[in-house]
Structures are given as C-alpha cells and as structure tokens.
Chain A
Amino acid sequence: MSVNNKVLGLIFASMHDANLLDLTKHGTMGSVPIGGRYRLVDFPLSNMVNSGITDVGVITKANYISLLDHLGAGREWDLTRKHGGLHLLPPYISGSNGGIYEGRLDALNNISAYLEKSSAKYIVCANCDVMSTIDYRPIITKHIDSEADITLIYGKGEYDFEKNKDEKYGTTILSVVNDDEFESAMLKPPFKGPSNIWLESFIISRDKLEEIVSLACSLGKHSFTKFVLQEHKEEYKIKCYKVEDEFKRIGGFTEYWEANRMLLDSEKRQSFFRKKMPIFTKVGDSAPVKYGIGTVIKNSLIADGCIIEGNVENSIIFRGVKVGKDAVVKDCILLEGTTIGEKAYISGIVTDINGEIKENRRLDGELDKPLLINN
C-alpha cells in the first residue's frame, strides 16, 4: 500500500495554548521550545514525515508568526513538494464561519476548502501538546483493516487529577476493552493511577470527518472529545490503538518542566530520538558547543552554538546560550540565547528566549516548583 497518496496529516498547532500561557504568550503551543533545539510541532510533523505522509496541513490560530518563521516552506521536514507538502492554514473570517475557532471541529470546518481539494482517504490528526515519537504506519494499516471510522491513539501512563485540575483543558482518559475496543472517554476524571491516556491524536476516514464536522458545526458544537467521543459515540465505529512508545502530555508548566527533564534519562531519550525516526527541526547553523577551561558538566543536554565557561548540572541548555566563568547552573532549562553572567548561581530556573541573568546573581527555584523568569 502506498501510504503517500491516501493519507493527509493535520496538525493543530494552537490547540490548548491556554494550558501553557506563560510560554505561549508570544506564540502557539507548536512553537514552544523543547529538548534543547526543538519546538513542540517538530514531533508530530517529523512523525508524519517519518511515516511516509508527505501532505501535511498545520492549523494555526493566533500569534503564529514564530510558527511561520520556524516552519518556513517545510524544507527541513522534506515537505517542500510539488505534490502535497506543507500547508499552513491560518484562520480566516468569512460569511459562514466565525474566524477564530474554539475547538477541533470548528477548526476543521474552517479548512473545509483545503480538505475538499485533497484526494486523501484517511486523515491523521495530531496536537502539539504531546511529545512523542510514533510511527503511524502500523496504526494506519490497522485502521484500514478494521474498517473503523475513527482510531484513537493512546498510551499507558500515570494520571493524577490533582496535577491536572487547574488545567483549562484536561487529559482525556479512555476506557478500552481488549486493547482496541473503545468504550468511553472521560475528560479530567477525578482519580489517580495508571490509565489509558489519549495522545490527542487519531486517524479518521475522510468522508466520516466531513460528515461529523458539518453536523457538529450546524449544531454549534466544537469539541471533538465531547461531541464525538461522548455524545455521539454510539453512532461511529471507534477503535483504539495502544502505542508502547514513550510519551509526555504537556498540560501545564510543571509538565513542560518534566517533559524536558525526561530527556536527561538515557533510555527515554533514545525512545524520543531514534536513528531511524529523526526529529527534524529548523537548522540554526550554529558552531559546536565550546567548553572553557575548568568547566564541570554533569547530566545535561546541550545544543549547538553554546559557549559554556561555567558549571552545568541536570540542565537542558538550548542553542546559543552563554554561561559565564564560575557560574553555576543547576536543574535549569535555559531557552535559546540566554546569557548567564559570571559567578551567577541559579537552580530550578526556566529562562525565557534571550533571557539574561546578571553576574553574581543568585536565583533559586525548587525542583517541584521551578521558577520561570520572563524577560
């Protein structure tokens, strides 16, 4: 089966921006920096490309300038194509729609002209708030073989309502029978324990998608979870697919912190960054990292373009960061272009893009309550 002609990828770049307000105020969920050199959109986009999907639409909402800058014409993802390729789909206002969408369904309604032009039979939908490296190919095959309308992708993981309750949007927990029979979906249920966590991605047959979208929008419904997975679940053939891959849903700042720190674990890191499924990203053309004399570096992920003259421990250091002489950086996430002055001491800190900590300053956050330093 040639996947290429039949499958269209759709990425929701702005879904759930409100969960990470501090980090999305200048951009979208998709353009939130992660893992030293990536943006969250790189994961679903690379997954699609690595799964042979060469026709991908990225649905944006507001503040998408940084996302546009990051994606460009899609060259780094090999999506600059005559046929298919990358399409950025910003919202627009016309007589029949309200412009800025609220949920997945009206977002899809917004791009109906784009969908009509596509010859795809199946559509893979993914959000940007889940970090995962997934091969969609076996899932697409299973979807086709099972003649399902919708196949929901989920993974086993620890769920904790306490962590989740302040979130504007919440985790969706699936009740699944025999690993693939969908029973029900619960949004932000009040319990704690190992659960089937929906990875906010699914495969849907294209004619079914068009049917659902036009029905939902005529009724003024926007939420895929509520409308399809709860209210009308009996009307569609919904299947589930369990992935064994590592994943991390980023529902808030704490989970953003945890997602980055997960990458310090060698086994987990290897699950996210596999030789055969590379995560593509915009190329920065930075020089390799330069370490000065007497630096002590432990358990850290450091991107190219950094100049490190101080000490770094248990940290994620993005591109182009400068750490001055005798400075100490412990349990920190330093976003792109951050400068740490000489003899500064920081721990439990997340800095903003181009952040600056002046020399001799001391700043302490806590491991379970890291501090975000906004510019």
Chain B
Amino acid sequence: MNTKKKVVAMLLAGGQGSRLYALTKNVAKPAVPYGGKYRLIDFPLSNCTNSGIDTVGVLTQYQPLVLNEYIGNGQPWDLDRLNGGVHVLPPYETSKGGAWYEGTANAIYQNIRFIERYDPEFVVVLGGDHIYKMDYSKMINFHTQNDADCTISVINVPLAEASRFGIMVCDEEHRVKEFVEKPANPTSTLASMGIYVFNWQKLKKYLIQNEEEANIKRDKGEKWSKDFGKDIITSMLKDGQRLFAYEFEGYWMDVGTLDSLWEANMDLIRPDAKFDLTSKEMKIYSRNNNMPPQYIGSDAMVQDSMISEGSVIDGNVDFSVIFQGVTVEKGANIKYSIIMPGAVIKSGASVEYSIVGSDTVIESGAKIGKSPENVNPGEEWGIAVVGHNITISENTVINPKDIVDESK
C-alpha cells in the first residue's frame, strides 16, 4: 500500500504533435527542445516539483524512446521518490486485451488503478506542450475555496485569437457557464490552458461514464470520442457540477506549431523579454549533459542571444537561441534562428529565421531561410525548418517556409 497523496498529477505526453512535423518525426512532442537547454516536458514537471506535487504519471504513446530516456528516474526534477515520484505510463495489455490510448480521457481512464494506489483527493491533469511557470498549489487552493468539482485554468487572450482556443464563458464568481471548443463567434476571451484540477472521485465517475457511453456509440457505429474538453467537461457542465475558471496571469505559450515554437524561443531574447528563465523563482529543471562551459572564439560576433553549455562559437550569432553542444564555425552567420543540440553550422553557411534540428549538419555555403525584408515579390515567407539528424549539403538553398526532414 502506498502512502496516501493529496494530489496526483497526470501529464498527457502521448501526442504526436503532427503540426511540428519535421521535429516530431522520431520524438514525442513533449521531448521537443526549447529555450537553449530544456525540453517542453521540463515545464510541467518543474511546475509540479515547485508546487509541492511529488507524484506524477506521464502518459506516453507516440515515439516514447527519447522521452522515456529523458525522464529516467525523475531525479533532475527531484521526482525520484520512495513514495510517488514520476512514473511513465504507456498503454498496456490486460487479460481482456489491450488498447492504445483513444483520447485524453481514455488515457486517464486506463490508468485509474495507478491513481487509486495513492487514494488522492485531487487529480491535476496537465498537457506536455505548453511553456509557462505556474504554482499549481494556488490553483488547488482556489479549487477548494470554491468547493469546486473541477477547476480549469484559463488565460485572457485577444478577442481576435479567441476562436483558436477552447473558450469558457463564466459568471462573476468565475463559475463556468459554458464551454465552446474553437467558437466561430467567441463571446468570451477566457481560453482553456488545458490544465485541470478535479476532485478525484468525481472525475473517476465521469471517466467511467464517458468510457461506457462512447463504447456503446462505437458499437452502434455512431460518432464517439473520449476527450477531456469535448466529453468530460461538457458532461459535467450539463449535469450542473461546480466548474470554475482559474485565471492565470503570466506568460503562457502553446507551442503547437513550428511558428509558435519559434516565437516562444524568441520571447526569451527580445529586449523586453516576456519570459524569464534566469530568475531563481520557480526554477525550471532539466536533465544535464555534462558539457564544459561554452567557448566564444576570437572571430565570433555574439549579441542579443541565448547560448548554452558545450557550444563552440566562432561565427556570428545574432538574436538567436543556441542549444547545448552546437558548433558555429568561423564565417557562419546565424540570425533570428533556433539551433538545437549538437547541430553543426559550417563556415560560410547562413541560417536566418529558421529552426535547425538536433545533430543536423549545415555544410559550407548552404543558405537556410531568409529575412522577411529580403524576400522577393511574390515569394512566400515563413520560418524554414530543418529536421533532426540530417545533413544539408554545400551551397544548398532551403527557402523560407520550407520544411526539410531528409538530408539534401
């Protein structure tokens, strides 16, 4: 029997992240690098630790190798515990057969027994693809103060963008009246951040109910789903359960697309940096690679950038994020770009407004991406992306907005 835990966190990390395409071909989305030395999953894991939550289930499904290795025993996040700690939970087989996770609600449903071992009062459900620092214990306090059944963390977004999100309509007491997924004509600007606090017994009841209902629909050949927002939240609202919106103030970024991943990295180095990773408050932890400090050579020009350990910079780096162990040779130019761990940018290569994947080699004279001001009339502009572990040969040109996932 395990020690009782007040809170268990369940982290949904099985997503393929198909819109991140070239960067998630062989790695799950939560393992995508961000911010010079982190991976996306560092944020929810560090937030858990910083909020005093020491029991975390990580639900994996898509390409879990890198992610599993990265999480390991959870030590970097202080989640190697005798009781609790971090547990990777892949889909499994039972005597009645096995099943892949069929949606976010089903993933938790299949792990009811894991949660029950800790007999928690509250279950916190988290996503693995958001950049933010948040003390979940404040949200749990808000949840108990309101005597809520479910609390959903929300953030105020500009009205023009509201139709991209799941939108909550609330009354003055923050009680959720209505939830609409991607509304065409939004009547509120409170977007769901995909962070939920549930009373465990209540959630369990709805998970079982959703599972049964969806399976009946499936048997009848009707449309079915096993999803948190769409099914669990909607059913709870319909039944008049107490759902509350917890308004989060601070930096939050959904890095679901290549453009937003690039933006979120740039947010770290803008002169009026919107997000600070250097502060000691709510520190973000990551697995360390044992690399020496970075070396900036005599011919280098480095400014307005973030550069991580193990990198050797002899070229020019301007307004960019350089991860661990990157080599930038003399005469290489990097501007407004993200260079992921272990990549090599050879002399005379130029990388502008681009993302270069881990361990990729950009040979001499290759040109990746372009500044918007240099785009020819009629030419399309956007961030160029070169995937992980490939080679772009000498003098090859990768146009803006191109996505390359094979050596060229």
Are A and B subunits of one complex? yes
Q: Report A201 CB to chain B, min CB distance, Å.
A: 22
Of the listed stretches A160-168, A224-232, A272-280, chain B binds A272-280
CB-defined contacts of B283 to chain A, threshold 8 Å: 285
**Residue among A76, A283, A316 with the most chain B CB within 10 A?**
A283
* B307–A289 touching, CB < 8 Å: yes
CB-defined contacts of B76 to chain A, threshold 8 Å: 283, 285
**Residue among A283, A290, A317 with the most chain B CB within 10 A?**
A290
Interface string of B261-303 (1 = CB under 8 A from A): 0000000110100000110000111101011111111101111
* A291–B295 touching, CB < 8 Å: no
- A residues lining the B interface (CB < 8 Å): 35-37, 75-76, 263-264, 266, 269, 272-273, 278-281, 283, 285-305, 307, 312, 316-317
Known A299-B297, A301-B294, A301-B295: A75·B307 in contact at CB below 8 Å: no
Assess whether B306 is interfacial by the CB under 8 Å rule: yes
How far, in angstroms, from A39 to B101 measured CA to CA in the complex? Answer: 47
Known A297-B296, A298-B296: A283·B308 in contact at CB below 8 Å: no
* A302–B293 touching, CB < 8 Å: yes
How would you classify the secondary structure of chain B's contact residues: helix, strand, loop or mixed? Answer: loop
* B302–A35 touching, CB < 8 Å: no
CB-defined contacts of B305 to chain A, threshold 8 Å: 290-291
Contact residue among B75, B288, B309 (Cβ-Cβ distance under 8 Å from A288) = B309
Q: Report B36 CB to chain A, min CB distance, Å.
A: 3
Q: Report B338 CB to chain A, min CB distance, Å.
A: 12
Q: Report A152 CB to chain B, min CB distance, Å.
A: 29
Query: How many of B's residues come within 8 Å of A, CB to CB?
Result: 38
How far, in angstroms, from A301 to B321 measured CA to CA in the complex? Answer: 18
Known A285-B285, A287-B37: A304·B304 in contact at CB below 8 Å: no
* B308–A289 touching, CB < 8 Å: yes
Interface string of B46-87 (1 = CB under 8 A from A): 000000000000000000000000000001100000000000
Known A288-B306, A291-B303, A292-B304: A280·B296 in contact at CB below 8 Å: no
In the complex formed, the residue of A with least CB distance to B313 is A297
Contact residue among A36, A75, A279, A288 (Cβ-Cβ distance under 8 Å from B308) = A288
Known A75-B75, A287-B37, A290-B278: A36·B293 in contact at CB below 8 Å: yes
CB-defined contacts of A305 to chain B, threshold 8 Å: 278
Assess whether B194 is interfacial by the CB under 8 Å rule: no
Contact residue among A264, A283, A294 (Cβ-Cβ distance under 8 Å from B288) = A283
CB-defined contacts of B37 to chain A, threshold 8 Å: 287-288, 304
* B271–A290 touching, CB < 8 Å: no
How far, in angstroms, from A293 to B319 measured CA to CA in the complex? Answer: 9
Q: Report A82 CB to chain B, min CB distance, Å.
A: 15
* B36–A288 touching, CB < 8 Å: yes
* A288–B35 touching, CB < 8 Å: yes
